[in-house]
Amino acid sequence: MKALVTGFEPFGGDRINASLEAVRRLPDNAGAIEIVTAALPTSYARSLPALEAAIALARPDIVLCVGQAGERAALCLERVAVNVQDAEIPDNDGLRPVDAPIVAGGPAAYLATLPVRAAVAALRAEELPAQLSMSAGTFVCNHVFYGLMHAAAGRRHAFRAGFLHVPRLPQTGRDAPSMALDDIVKGIAIVLEAAGPGTVA
Ligand code: PCA
């Protein structure tokens, strides 16, 4: 089994993004799962083409996109991607869509096909703070999550897919919740193993 794991480039004036730092430090394997990684631009226009290219190259069985949610204190398994773009801050291209669909005429929402509840349980069993989340927001992370699930739904080469939001790293100097980089790296591997061979969604 092969997993593609992506992280996002820094955005909103930050110099680092916990998701990309963690994804860069992933080992080559999580249990029986081979891990390949890619960086996605925090851009409405460029993120999904980059994701599609990474999927075409890797032909993965699992795709886990990871992003940073600056105000969250736990690893958040996202359950649902919605067909809305609504940005409170500009993306890295200066774009700030308001109330726009991601896919015109597309379904209102998609559910993750990774076993999100089992992943939360596995994270908590390792004493990592974890939650199911009902919203990935309406910024670029939700955009990528929706585009990912839309692509998965229309593809012959089937893969399980989902989205993980992670807290900031402690060293960002912000008065915000944070999590140690090693714990985020470990958490991503645990989520992949929960989605691996022998598990049910
Ligand atoms: N977090 C943003 C986009 C990129 C990232 O890491 C979000 O939650 O939408």
The answer on pLDDT for 200 being more than 80 is no
Determine, yes or no, domain membership for 69: yes
Determine, yes or no, domain membership for 199: no
Q: How would you classify the pairing of strands 75-78 and 160-166?
A: antiparallel
Helix 47-58 vs helix 140-153: angle between axes, to the nearest 10 degrees? 40
The answer on pLDDT for 161 being more than 70 is yes
- pTM of the predicted structure, to 2 decimals: 0.97
CATH number at residue 60: 3.40.630.20
CA–CA gap between residue 70 and residue 10 (Å, rounded): 11
Determine, yes or no, domain membership for 201: no
* pLDDT in the model for residue 197: 78
Annotation marks residue 157 as catalytic: no
Q: Which domain holds residue 19?
A: 2-194
Per cent of the chain over pLDDT 70 is 97
Determine, yes or no, domain membership for 39: yes
Determine, yes or no, domain membership for 155: yes
Ligand 1 centroid – CA 87 distance (Å):
11
Q: Can you tell me whether residue 59 is helix, strand or coil?
A: coil
How many other C-beta atoms can be found within 10 angstroms of the C-beta atom of residue 10? Answer: 17
Determine, yes or no, domain membership for 200: no
* Total of domains in the chain: 1
Mean pLDDT of the chain: 95
Ligand 1 first shell, C-beta below 6 A: 8, 11, 17, 19, 42, 67-69, 137, 139-141
> Of the residues 42, 51, 143, 184, which should be mutated to test ligand 1's pocket, given the most ligand atoms within 8 Å of the CB?
42
Per cent of the chain over pLDDT 90 is 92
Determine, yes or no, domain membership for 49: yes
Annotation marks residue 165 as catalytic: yes
The answer on pLDDT for 156 being more than 70 is no
Annotation marks residue 193 as catalytic: no
Tell me phi and psi for residue 81, to 5 degrees: -105, 130
- The pLDDT tens digits for 18-76 are 999 999 999 999 999 999 999 999 999 999 999 999 999 999 999 999 999 999 999 99
CA–CA gap between residue 160 and residue 92 (Å, rounded): 28
Confidence of residue 201 (pLDDT cuts 50, 70, 90): low
Distances (CA, A) of 185 to 27, 66, 154, 159, 167: 9, 11, 30, 22, 12
Determine, yes or no, domain membership for 158: yes
Ligand 1 centroid – CA 22 distance (Å):
14
CA–CA gap between residue 142 and residue 172 (Å, rounded): 23
Ligand 1 atom 2: residue of nearest CA: 141
Instruction: Return the ligand 1 atom nearest residue 143 CA.
Output: 9
